[in-house]
Amino acid sequence: MQDKNTRHIASSHFKDWWKRPYRMVQTNLRMPDAQYDQRLLAREVREMGADVLLYNMGGIYAFYPTALPLQAENPMMAGDALGAAVEAAHAEGLSLVGRLDLSKATRKAYEAHPDWFVHNVRGQALSYNGTYQACVNGGWYQDHALDIISELLRGYDIDGIFFNMFGYMNHTYSGDYFGICVCDNCRARFRAFSGRELPEREDFSDPAYADYLKFQDRSAMDLSARIYDHIKQLKPEIGVTGGRGKSDLIRLEIQRFIFREPPEWPYQPGEQARWARAFGQGKNASSTSTNFVDYPWRFAAETPDCHILRFAQQLASGASLDYYLLGTPDQADQKAFGPITELFEWHRKHEGCYSGLRSRARVAMYHSRKTGKFRARTRTADLKGHPFRGAYRALIEDRIPFDFVCDETAADDGNPGPLEGYDVLLVSNAACLSDDEARRLDDWVAAGGTLIATGETGFYDEEGRPRALQALSSLPVRQLNLVRPDMRGAYFRNEGGEAGLPDAGLIMLDGYYLHCEPAEDAERVLALLPPQRFGPPELCYPDVDSDLPGILSRRHGQGRAIYLPWFPDWQYYRDSLPDMRRLVTGLIGDAVARPVVVRGAGAVEVTLQKQPETGRLLVHLVNYSGQRNNLYEKPAELHGLLLGVRGAAGDAKALREGSVLQPLSPQADEDGYLWYRLGPVGAFEAVSIASQS
């Protein structure tokens, strides 16, 4: 497929895109785009500074002449769009990742094999604009998908594969609920898996529902592994993207749903990058930033500043750059192109600084997928994922670098293990823990870690069934006696400022308080002042007191476990009171938490990564001052920030500003920090510094 202009570029250069930091542009092509000049498309993408083009291959509509009679060929295509695109991409020095959407097919496949497609209990097929949703357990996904992949890999010199919308679907594109698939394949496979019939309701009141969730997960993961193995058998060198399934790299998507629940959550990009890095355990990752605002308006563009804030968070947490256009670059709204091109060009220049990075955070948050899945079974389900988000915000806004540890990999035997290298693990209402996870966390505490848990952590098993005894033996609490939901008007007494808040004699409590049985050796901090009358004013004085604790703590082996029988993390998410944040982050301890310190005013996230190959540290500062609620515009430049880095040596390079920063003093201060004065920080800054080790 390579023409004479590209013969000097080794094939491995194109194939290895997923092993290095990359800049991808996804063009989600519409049928008429097959007529677009593919040379022009590749040139436009290259001129955006990208090195990877994501291009439609097939599934619903083939963008190449297919010999498979059930795969519809794009009727608006003349010739071979994919063939021309591969040639054009390679001529421009771009790797080409092919996009396959196996989730749907056209009517001719449906009429030939209706049994391959999703049908609900009313016998209706899940169709949308003339396409039919394939069932994970049906022949389209299970067999025909492999034929499509074989045809593509034999015919085209592509460098990677991306799968769109893989898995189960119970609603239409428009969001209308449709119900689960009850096809014969689903019935038979679920019966073999669980010994049960399919659930009639998608909630835990149906005894088959928990098993069905596991079945969905297992069957989708099995299918993904089958497809991955099939690809690797044919073309081991190409990169296969994925999420939780078997893959070479992780690729997610960042977008705005206009109906999402307030308050605005601007941290989705960093959250996804942290998850991908933790789950992937060293795999490359990116989250594609959709150019458009929301699906119904695929051509109304986000502000450039929204994209740059997304990319800054992704880079800061070790992900690559990835930008998603619906259609070709020939868009009516191109306002993001200029700033994104500038960023991509900058990244190309500094690509070497981004290869092989490892996080140097000392703090991790525990990401419990199980809790998300089985939360509806817990007593505090109404808090949703907000405690986790509150803790996430507390760490970001207190400028503490942190990573995730995923429940799905926490019990893995890796070297290093997923918990290794962290001093503190923040377990924010991880209600559902398996015995294996709990044992691993306890061992880590015993070996010297500090675990901080809130709310219902560990009071349920891995499927959300209540436990008689709390799962973590390290925690200073044994069992849960009662969950009180009526703490409005309550406080904790903080006399003597013992909770690290010297200027707050009372700490506000709302929502739940968990009456627990503390361990015998638990140390107690704070005392609950039960709900107080808050009107009329004449009656607003305490009439009853208690000595129930707000913080419990105990040593476990070489480490310490701390438990808060309430939800300061959820309160911080809701109220943003700095006291609540300081209460959480104060427990972490500055000494271990902050390998890097930023001084000066401004909404800044800070992360620290290291390139083992060169020994260089890479500090990112992400500036959130352009974000107010769901408005994203140009951030105010931050001036006069001081950066202190432990273990740094010599001059630093501010890669965005393009300046060299000399340390303010040649010697580190008594806490081990070497200090630098930063120039103005725009949307973000990346500071590269040699390290002492």
Q: Between 141 and 311, whose beta carbon lies closer to Zn ion?
A: 141
Q: State the distance between the two ends of the chain, measured CA to CA, in whole angstroms.
A: 46
- CB 146, min distance to Zn ion, A: 18
What token pair was written down for 352? Answer: 């070497």
The stretch among 132-140, 350-358, 428-436, 472-480 that binds Zn ion (CB under 5 A) is 132-140
The stretch among 58-66, 177-185, 210-218, 570-578 that binds Zn ion (CB under 5 A) is 177-185
- CB 121, min distance to Zn ion, A: 11
The reply on whether position 276 binds Zn ion by CB under 5 A is no
Q: Between 53 and 186, whose beta carbon lies closer to Zn ion?
A: 186
Are residues 440 and 419 in contact, defined by beta-carbon separation less than 8 angstroms?
yes
What token pair was written down for 384? Answer: 């949703």
Can you tell me the distance from the alpha carbon of 139 to that of 183, in angstroms, rounded to the nearest whole number?
12
- CB 115, min distance to Zn ion, A: 9
The stretch among 185-193, 391-399, 474-482, 591-599 that binds Zn ion (CB under 5 A) is 185-193
Q: Between 188 and 631, whose beta carbon lies closer to Zn ion?
A: 188
The reply on whether position 504 binds Zn ion by CB under 5 A is no
Q: Between 186 and 472, whose beta carbon lies closer to Zn ion?
A: 186
Can you tell me the distance from the alpha carbon of 466 to that of 483, in angstroms, rounded to the nearest whole number?
13
Question: Got the DSSP string for 312-360?
Answer: HHHHHTT--EEEEEES-S--S--TTHHHHHHHHHHHHHTHHHHTT-EE-
Instruction: Please name which of 571, 609, 215 lies closest in space to residue 403, comparing C-alpha atoms.
Output: 609
- CB 213, min distance to Zn ion, A: 15
The stretch among 182-190, 333-341, 465-473, 525-533 that binds Zn ion (CB under 5 A) is 182-190
How many helices (H) does the chain have, and how many strands (E)?
19, 37
Can you tell me the distance from the alpha carbon of 369 to that of 381, in angstroms, rounded to the nearest whole number?
14
Can you tell me the distance from the alpha carbon of 579 to that of 586, in angstroms, rounded to the nearest whole number?
10
The stretch among 181-189, 196-204, 267-275, 317-325 that binds Zn ion (CB under 5 A) is 181-189
Q: Between 70 and 169, whose beta carbon lies closer to Zn ion?
A: 169
The reply on whether position 186 binds Zn ion by CB under 5 A is yes
The reply on whether position 584 binds Zn ion by CB under 5 A is no
Indicate the SS3 state at residue 177: strand
Facing residues of 688 across strands?
Answer: 618, 653
- CB 233, min distance to Zn ion, A: 27
Are residues 625 and 635 in contact, defined by beta-carbon separation less than 8 angstroms?
yes
The reply on whether position 183 binds Zn ion by CB under 5 A is yes
Residues 6 or more apart in contact with residue 599 via CB below 8 angstroms: 641, 642, 644
Residues 6 or more apart in contact with residue 481 via CB below 8 angstroms: 515, 516, 517
The sign one gets for the Cα dihedral 137, 64, 242, 224 is positive
Largest CA distance in the chain: 89
Q: Between 223 and 433, whose beta carbon lies closer to Zn ion?
A: 223
Is residue 43 classed exposed, middle or buried when 0-12, 13-18 and 19+ CB atoms within 10 A define those classes?
middle
Q: Between 216 and 368, whose beta carbon lies closer to Zn ion?
A: 216
The stretch among 127-135, 164-172, 535-543, 560-568 that binds Zn ion (CB under 5 A) is 127-135
The stretch among 175-183, 266-274, 308-316, 628-636 that binds Zn ion (CB under 5 A) is 175-183
Q: Between 135 and 312, whose beta carbon lies closer to Zn ion?
A: 135
Q: Between 28 and 137, whose beta carbon lies closer to Zn ion?
A: 137
Which of residues 77, 105, 135, 471 is near Zn ion by CB under 5 A?
135
Which ranges constitute the DSSP H helices of 180-208? 184-194
Q: Between 182 and 514, whose beta carbon lies closer to Zn ion?
A: 182
Q: What is the 3-state secondary structure (H, E, C) of 24-88?
A: EEEEECCHHHHHCCHHHHHHHHHHCCCCEEEEEEECCEECCCCCCCCCEECCCCCCCHHHHHHHH
167: left (phi over 0), alpha (psi -120 to 50) or beta: left
Q: Between 36 and 140, whose beta carbon lies closer to Zn ion?
A: 140
R_g of the chain computed on alpha carbons: 27
Facing residues of 162 across strands?
Answer: 99
Can you tell me the distance from the alpha carbon of 98 to that of 149, in angstroms, rounded to the nearest whole number?
10
Phi, psi dihedrals of residue 259, rounded to the nearest 5°? -95, 10
- CB 244, min distance to Zn ion, A: 20
Q: Between 40 and 112, whose beta carbon lies closer to Zn ion?
A: 112
Q: Between 169 and 654, whose beta carbon lies closer to Zn ion?
A: 169
- CB 105, min distance to Zn ion, A: 14
Which of residues 149, 153, 181, 391 is near Zn ion by CB under 5 A?
181
How many residues form the binding site for Zn ion (CB under 5 A)? Answer: 5
The stretch among 63-71, 183-191, 529-537, 563-571 that binds Zn ion (CB under 5 A) is 183-191
What token pair was written down for 247? Answer: 């893959």
The stretch among 65-73, 101-109, 133-141, 475-483 that binds Zn ion (CB under 5 A) is 133-141
Q: Between 169 and 343, whose beta carbon lies closer to Zn ion?
A: 169
Q: Write out the H or E segment, with its range, that includes residue 583.
A: helix 578-588
- CB 117, min distance to Zn ion, A: 8
Facing residues of 97 across strands?
Answer: 54, 160
x/- binding map, residues 635-664, to Zn ion, per CB under 5 A?
Answer: ------------------------------
Q: Between 219 and 627, whose beta carbon lies closer to Zn ion?
A: 219
Are residues 135 and 185 in contact, defined by beta-carbon separation less than 8 angstroms?
yes
- CB 180, min distance to Zn ion, A: 8
The stretch among 45-53, 73-81, 130-138, 532-540 that binds Zn ion (CB under 5 A) is 130-138
- CB 184, min distance to Zn ion, A: 8
The stretch among 128-136, 241-249, 410-418, 540-548 that binds Zn ion (CB under 5 A) is 128-136
The reply on whether position 223 binds Zn ion by CB under 5 A is no
Are residues 550 and 522 in contact, defined by beta-carbon separation less than 8 angstroms?
no
Q: Between 169 and 181, whose beta carbon lies closer to Zn ion?
A: 181
Give residues in contact with Zn ion (CB under 5 A). 135, 137, 181, 183, 186
